[in-house]
Structure 1
């Protein structure tokens, strides 16, 4: 009796694993692939903005040789610039230097349209740095496209909810998969090549078990960091609904609520900023990253001093929050101090911040990023192999789950498999091609790159329905291999840059993007050759 009960339970879990996994596998594959690429969003953005490379190299050379002012003078210049050009802005944000006391001098403010604006000042004399003629950079979302798509599908709150539901389905599929496969850990050490369905199941089990803790962690933390969106009852009960309530919640969550203007003028000598900066640095124990002034020129002004996270801190702390010290500008009284690694809002938000650090790999340096990248690829392979396994199992044995419509549903699944796996990969590398082929001065250029991404994906879906599944797989993998392997040549033709030059100047970010594309291209060739042999 117990055996029958156990068998029935495991059979129910197998059904749940199969169908919950299938209907969400295409979306989860897209979320995992773009999330894996998002681990290296900064290098991808660097590669996609080649006009900045020469400027960055020149700036590094100039900063190493040119005389530079100290922090007190830089802050004074920043204050003087803001007082002259943006006296009515409700917030001034001054970034005087990098963690070592050198680097750029930048200022930020909110303009009349409530948009974040910035200007760069010369760190040697405080004058605005003029835009060099002919140096306009191409507008692009860069690697942040993969970040946005990964968690909200470029669809705002609706997309966030869709991804959240998919993450819940992933947790269900993981738990039911562990229950279903009693010998899952034994099967991890077994791989039988060229055995059709058995080989796909072995591959699916291997990548799943290898990174099972990572998959649980990434799905769970993805839900936690958006917890107030998925479970808004507490927020709505306390703050109410509407944009004003949301703004109040965000303000209190971020900084405890900004002070109100008093209407009484209170000029502040520019050089007094250094006193606040020095005291803030002493209180929080970090070099000063930024000095933020709320309601400048008003008696209710507040000074915020924020710190830089050092490399050693990023290696050992899950929470990426920096130190912060708040002062009253009028009385110089310390209002609040946050030490590095702490979070505003107490232990609950500190836990959420740590969860965010786990999910977005804000700790551990490049070594941890590579570990996440490899685990992400394994998770992507788990989703893809599970979707393919569904059809391999049914390709020669009709199970009739949908009655007379079963054949049509199987054809739909086959096409969606091709478009979701090979087609999405095509769209991702096509996005990089669009970055090089679209004119630099094109209006709404970043939007056009995004449109190329979705257009290529739509074409891949149409192609998957028009062609027979086996041909569609081979043709899309061949196109993927060509686009990946030819990306370095495209970069050479359009910008004059190439791998050897990147290697010689130490531009590992650009070189890594191109070598990664070549690696994906070689993998696509391997898949194409395997399918070609299977067809003959």
Structure 2
């Protein structure tokens, strides 16, 4: 037992952060990218980069919907918005090898309505799923690992607040020196600057894993029957019914452009200039219902499981029902939904999403500097310096911190250089990610640590500088006429390259000083 409470908290802070620090770093990096997972997916489909929203986009979407609904009972159309420059359609088709219907996507140019065929890619969804369940491991095991890492992060945050009595004073102090004090300042500043975010993102992450790590309440009440639990949960939801028994008998066996247009006009009166998409569902009696989704949700209670929509009868264009969250009076469910929405930034507009992204970067710095700080504090202790544990942490730091960024950069490059029509190319993209990351770990163990840091930081800088160049070389078709969103990607890659180039410069300079 440590001599005092504060020393006990310092010990707990150090080891709770270190033991899972490498997982936490990967979680923060991929989670930060996930705030823009839809944009990442679009970037990895360069065929879509030249579509631009126009005054005809809604009419094009309506016409495509009418065409698709002739052969599909349920379709979903998404209109261009501030995160996407295309019209997309989704429906389900039964696969010969599976009882479950698979999702089929089709993309259209938002100005001309031309069909756009895109490459197969892992997209931003790979980074998103890696964030909370890793990849390649059994889902149950990987989610438990992330849940334990999240709990350790929460413990590290609370103990960090306790041990840093001058925490708010230290935020204004930065000693930019390559020593433990300098690394401590670099660790504290992002921690305090985004402290509310770090507490929220960690606590909400734990709530998302609550059913996994604390299942006893549901098991006791429902004897482990998840379907019954889910049914009771759905029964709590209360959709506001506007008209009952509208159009019980189908008047038309097909949906007309005029009917769809009337519904969208009526929906626009409820949500002026805020229609983000619509779904057309064919009932068993042959009648149609149309669900309208907003571009921007009106409530923080909205989530992927608690969607906001209006339902219209297609024949009469009458509003049947409203689903405006929260749809339950349960404070527990509403609180859980709110935290889930905050964690995923579902409610966020462009400005708020960017702020979440910046806070995510502060989490990356927080986790990375914490790992480096453990090494820096122990460098002068020769007995520990020669220990296997010290060397292992030092090498894992290199392979995780710079290696992960190299792997992500290679993942983006693979998207551009792998042949477009090759089978299972999305798996090849993922394989290049892990092969690159593995090689970084091998390199860190084979090289002297200082040299490994410098070499991998230089490689990272070169990779991220090369991505915009390769993008221009492989897609010379009117490269400068792309949507502005994709130029922000180029800017991000260049800024990342500059950060690692500066880091490698200081490491080289410090290593030369050490030789004098």
Query: Equivalent residue of 1:95, what SS?
Result: strand
Per-residue CA deviations over 1:143-196 (Å, capped at 9, x if unaligned) read 222211112113434322211111100010111111112222222222223251
423, 428, 453: which one aligns with 2:408: 428
Match of 1:447 in 2: 427
116, 120, 131: which one aligns with 1:139: 120
Match of 1:472 in 2: 452
498, 504, 513: which one aligns with 1:522: 498
**In 2, Cα distance between equivalents of 1:70 and 1:15:** 59
The answer as to whether partners of 1:277 and 1:305 remain within 8 angstroms in 2 is no
Q: Structure 1 pair 118/255, CA: closer, same or farther in 2 (3 Å)?
A: farther
Counterparts of 1:234-313 in structure 2 under 5 Å?
234-237=217-220, 241=224, 269=252, 270-271=254-255, 287=275, 289-293=277-281, 296-298=283-285, 303=289, 305-310=291-296, 313=297
Counterparts of 1:476-491 in structure 2 under 5 Å?
476-491=456-471
User: Per-residue deviation at 1:318?
Assistant: 5.8
The answer as to whether partners of 2:414 and 2:432 remain within 8 angstroms in 1 is yes
Match of 1:38 in 2: 34
377, 381, 401: which one aligns with 1:393: 377
**In 1, Cα distance between equivalents of 2:445 and 2:155:** 30
User: Per-residue deviation at 1:255?
Assistant: 9.6
- Corresponding position: 1:214 with 2:197: yes
Counterparts of 1:454-469 in structure 2 under 5 Å?
454-469=434-449
**In 1, Cα distance between equivalents of 2:494 and 2:459:** 13
Per-residue CA deviations over 1:86-145 (Å, capped at 9, x if unaligned) read 4xxxx623539679xxx8584623425421235679999xxxx885xxx64221122222
User: Per-residue deviation at 1:406?
Assistant: 6.7
The answer as to whether partners of 2:407 and 2:436 remain within 8 angstroms in 1 is yes
Indicate the RMSD between aligned Cα atoms, in angstroms: 4.0
Query: Equivalent residue of 1:117, what SS?
Result: strand
Query: Equivalent residue of 1:115, what SS?
Result: strand
**In 1, Cα distance between equivalents of 2:80 and 2:486:** 23
- Corresponding position: 1:116 with 2:103: yes
**In 2, Cα distance between equivalents of 1:107 and 1:38:** 22
Mind listing any 5+ residue stretches in structure 1 that lack a counterpart? Answer: 257-264
Per-residue CA deviations over 1:436-472 (Å, capped at 9, x if unaligned) read 1111111111111011111111111111111111111
**In 2, Cα distance between equivalents of 1:522 and 1:70:** 42
Match of 1:510 in 2: 486
Match of 2:510 in 1: 534
**In 2, Cα distance between equivalents of 1:379 and 1:323:** 31
Match of 1:92 in 2: 74
**In 2, Cα distance between equivalents of 1:506 and 1:121:** 16
**In 1, Cα distance between equivalents of 2:46 and 2:366:** 35
The answer as to whether partners of 1:484 and 1:521 remain within 8 angstroms in 2 is yes
Q: Structure 1 pair 53/464, CA: closer, same or farther in 2 (3 Å)?
A: same
The answer as to whether partners of 1:327 and 1:335 remain within 8 angstroms in 2 is yes
Query: Equivalent residue of 2:11, what SS?
Result: helix
**In 2, Cα distance between equivalents of 1:362 and 1:196:** 40
Match of 1:181 in 2: 164
The answer as to whether partners of 1:484 and 1:520 remain within 8 angstroms in 2 is yes
**In 1, Cα distance between equivalents of 2:400 and 2:291:** 47
The answer as to whether partners of 2:281 and 2:290 remain within 8 angstroms in 1 is yes
Per-residue CA deviations over 1:16-46 (Å, capped at 9, x if unaligned) read 1111111111111111111112222233222
Match of 1:262 in 2: none
User: Per-residue deviation at 1:507?
Assistant: 2.1
Q: Structure 1 pair 6/423, CA: closer, same or farther in 2 (3 Å)?
A: closer
**In 2, Cα distance between equivalents of 1:172 and 1:394:** 23
289, 309, 315: which one aligns with 1:324: 309
Match of 1:170 in 2: 153
Per-residue CA deviations over 1:39-78 (Å, capped at 9, x if unaligned) read 2223322221111223x24xx4xx546994896x876x35
- Corresponding position: 1:152 with 2:133: yes
Per-residue CA deviations over 1:486-527 (Å, capped at 9, x if unaligned) read 2121112222269xx44xx36222111111111111111111
The answer as to whether partners of 1:36 and 1:373 remain within 8 angstroms in 2 is yes
**In 2, Cα distance between equivalents of 1:473 and 1:266:** 71
Match of 2:244 in 1: none
The answer as to whether partners of 1:46 and 1:509 remain within 8 angstroms in 2 is no
346, 349, 352: which one aligns with 2:336: 352
Query: Equivalent residue of 1:166, what SS?
Result: helix
Mind listing any 5+ residue stretches in structure 2 that lack a counterpart? Answer: 240-247
**In 1, Cα distance between equivalents of 2:268 and 2:44:** 36
Deviates more, 1:203-212 or 1:232-241: 232-241
**In 2, Cα distance between equivalents of 1:190 and 1:10:** 22
Per-residue CA deviations over 1:411-437 (Å, capped at 9, x if unaligned) read 100100101101111111111111111
TM-score (norm 1): 0.78
Query: Equivalent residue of 2:381, what SS?
Result: coil
- Corresponding position: 1:496 with 2:463: no
Query: Equivalent residue of 2:123, what SS?
Result: coil
The answer as to whether partners of 2:399 and 2:444 remain within 8 angstroms in 1 is yes
Q: Structure 1 pair 491/454, CA: closer, same or farther in 2 (3 Å)?
A: same
Q: Structure 1 pair 513/70, CA: closer, same or farther in 2 (3 Å)?
A: closer
